Amino acid sequence: GNSVTQMEGPVTLSEEAFLTINCTYTATGYPSLFWYVQYPGEGLQLLLKATKADDKGSNKGFEATYRKETTSFHLEKGSVQVSDSAVYFCALIVNTGGFKTIFGAGTRLFVKA
């Protein structure tokens, strides 16, 4: 089946620390991969995406590379800020008789000043 597994949170970092949030997936077919961010009390915002192997999605200092050989799409940022505190969702879309988004459980990130 299709699924997304994210590292459990919460992740707590100090400002300017390096961030990695692991994400692996299983999929029948060739999925597109996404990272979404949800700030407190808000809906989801698309952070970045990649649609084929070895593609690197990047936005706002965050980046993730589509690794087909390891079925992974880890999110990284070199220097986090307090404003990055949010919940991050890894997701994939496959065409299973319609394009459905499958979300990981989400990883909560706290960044301390």
Interface residues with another protein (CB under 8 A)? 32, 34, 36, 41-46, 49, 51, 89, 93, 98-101, 103-106, 108
Residue 49 Cβ vs another protein, minimum distance, rounded to whole Å: 7
Residue 36 Cβ vs another protein, minimum distance, rounded to whole Å: 7
Q: Considering the complex, state which of residue 19 and residue 104 has its C-beta at the smaller distance from another protein.
A: 104
Q: Considering the complex, state which of residue 46 and residue 82 has its C-beta at the smaller distance from another protein.
A: 46
**3-state secondary structure string, the chain?**
CCEEEECCCCEEEECCCCEEECEEEECCCCCEEEEEEECCCCCEEEEEEECCCCCEEEECCEEEECECCCCECCEEECCCCHHHCEEEEEEEEEECCCEEEEECCCEEEEEEC
Q: Considering the complex, state which of residue 15 and residue 102 has its C-beta at the smaller distance from another protein.
A: 102
Residue 71 Cβ vs another protein, minimum distance, rounded to whole Å: 18
